[in-house]
Amino acid sequence: MHHTALALIELGAVFFGLGLLGRLAWKIGVSPIPLYLIGGVAFGKGGIIPLTGIEEFTGIAAEIGVVLLLLLLGLEYSANELVTGLKRSWVAGVVDLVLNATPGVAAALILGWGPIGALAMGGVTYISSSGIVAKVLGDLGRLGNRETPVVLSILVFEDLAMAVYLPVLTALLAGVSFWGGLSTVGIALFAVSVVLIIAIKFGRYVSTLVDSPDPEVFLLRVLGLALLVAGLASQLQVSAAVGAFLLGIAISGSTAENATKLLEPLRDLFAAVFFVVFGLNTDPRDVPPVLGVAVALVIVTTATKMLTGWFAAGQQGIARLGRLRTGAALVARGEFSIVIAGLAVASGAVDSQLAPLATAYVLLMAVFGPVAARVVEPLARKAVALRTRTA
């Protein structure tokens, strides 16, 4: 069969299958993310019928999905709200780093992977998936909740931490000295600072730049600028997700509201592709040998993320139920963890078992995270009701 025809058939099957999975998720009342991931695993490497020939499109589409997820998350908040949130939550960000990087570091050292392997695994278990968290908050209608700015602050702190962590890790994996990677870190921090200043001081000009009464022109402007900023951020060793998020907070007022309405269908489409691609790149045959360690890390780091959310929300005076929702929202790991593991294994500087362990861990957390975010509130309410009846 001709390559183009095969690619179109496979893409059509993927999109139609996503529609069926989304419908199933809606009927049973759960987030579609776990079903998208499992569907990707079923038809990826080592799956039932591996899909081939669509990697180039799906790879770019997945990147666009993350950009749109974070762009629309940024549109929900202003630059002043972001800065205020970071000022209030930096202590929680440090607590998050210590609590959630430590299990990965400990696991790598116990397995004998050395300090560089420990640094890589620490990053894998530390950072939540901004893409999955943003999607879950939207699916559950929690973007306007009181605890959501706390979740957002933690995510932004983590993504900014990645702007420092990834250049250092890359330098160490390449055999460069620690100090040799500091110049790259300096460039990353400078880029983040510049974008923040633009968002705070000149946000109204950014809104004017993308705004248009014509929906087609408006869509082209805002989507084009989002991809441009994300690409430049990535080139400067800053997360593309951070770039898209900062652009989102720079757009304000009615422009932000109109952009949200216009981009939501595109976000849902490309985000679905992102989660499927993650599953497609997971070979189920690599999972069983490392499943025990992965499950242990899932249990420990679910608890540490719940503690992180409880502490961070408690600092803002949020009640118990909101604290539980905060912790559960942060549980999922995803895109960054896979990037970190990929960099580490490709360098040849760490044990090859790191990749399947990270993959198994992230797949479990990516499936469990959305489920935990959904069920934590009903379970908490049932526990309160049970205590009330027995008192």
- The answer to the question of residue 207 being in a domain is yes
Cα separation of the two ends of the chain: 70
**CATH code, domain with 151:** 1.20.1530.20
User: What's the pLDDT tens digit per position in 247-259?
Assistant: 887 887 788 888 8
Share of the chain above pLDDT 90, in %: 19
Instruction: Report, as an integer, the average pLDDT of 46-57.
Output: 68
In a domain, 361, yes or no: yes
Q: Residue 238 — pLDDT band, cuts 50, 70, 90?
A: low
Provide the pLDDT confidence category of residue 89 given band limits of 50, 70 and 90.
Answer: confident
What confidence category does residue 148 fall into, taking pLDDT thresholds of 50, 70 and 90? confident
Q: What is the number of structural domains in the chain?
A: 1
Q: What is the pLDDT of residue 130?
A: 79
Evaluate whether residue 66 is within a structural domain: yes
Average pLDDT over residues 278-298: 83
* Domain annotation covers residue 370: yes
Mean pLDDT of 221-225: 92
User: For residue 329, what are the contacts with CB-CB under 8 A and spacing of at least 6?
Assistant: 133, 136, 137, 142, 147, 151, 309, 373
Q: Distance between CA atoms of 151 and 263, rounded to whole angstroms?
A: 22
The pLDDT tens digits for 96-145 are: 999 999 999 999 999 998 888 999 999 999 999 877 888 888 888 887 78
Residue 178 has pLDDT above 60, yes or no: no
Confidence check: pLDDT of 371 > 70: yes
pTM summary value:
0.73
Least confident stretch, 14-28, 255-269, 314-328, 376-390: 376-390
- For residue 167, being part of any structural domain is answered with yes
Which range, 21-35, 62-76, 97-111, 196-210, is most confident? 97-111
For 296-329, b/e burial (b = at least 16 CB within 10 A) is ebbebbbebbbbbbbbbbbebebeeebbbbbbbb
Closest CA to 10 of 56, 60, 53: 53
Region 289-296 average pLDDT = 92
Q: Is the pLDDT of residue 53 over 70?
A: no
Higher pLDDT, 128 or 170: 128
- Judge whether residue 308 has pLDDT over 70: yes
Tokens 């702007």, located at residue: 163
Domain that holds residue 221: 54-385
33 within some domain: no
The whole-angstrom separation of Cα 84 and Cα 86 is: 5
Nearest to 234 by CA among 57, 116, 70: 70
Asked whether residue 265 is assigned to any structural domain, the reply reads yes
CA 46 to chain centre: 25
* pLDDT tens-digit map of 315-346: 888 988 889 999 999 998 876 787 788 778 77
pLDDT at 246: 78
**Is position 93 within any domain?**
yes
Which residue's structure tokens are 């695993």?
Answer: 41
Query: Crossing angle, helix 148-173 and helix 79-110, to 10 degrees?
Result: 50
Residue 302, pLDDT above cutoff 90: yes
Mean pLDDT value across the chain: 82
The Cα–Cα gap between 145 and 313 comes to 12
The answer on pLDDT for 78 being more than 80 is no
pLDDT at residue 45 in the model: 67
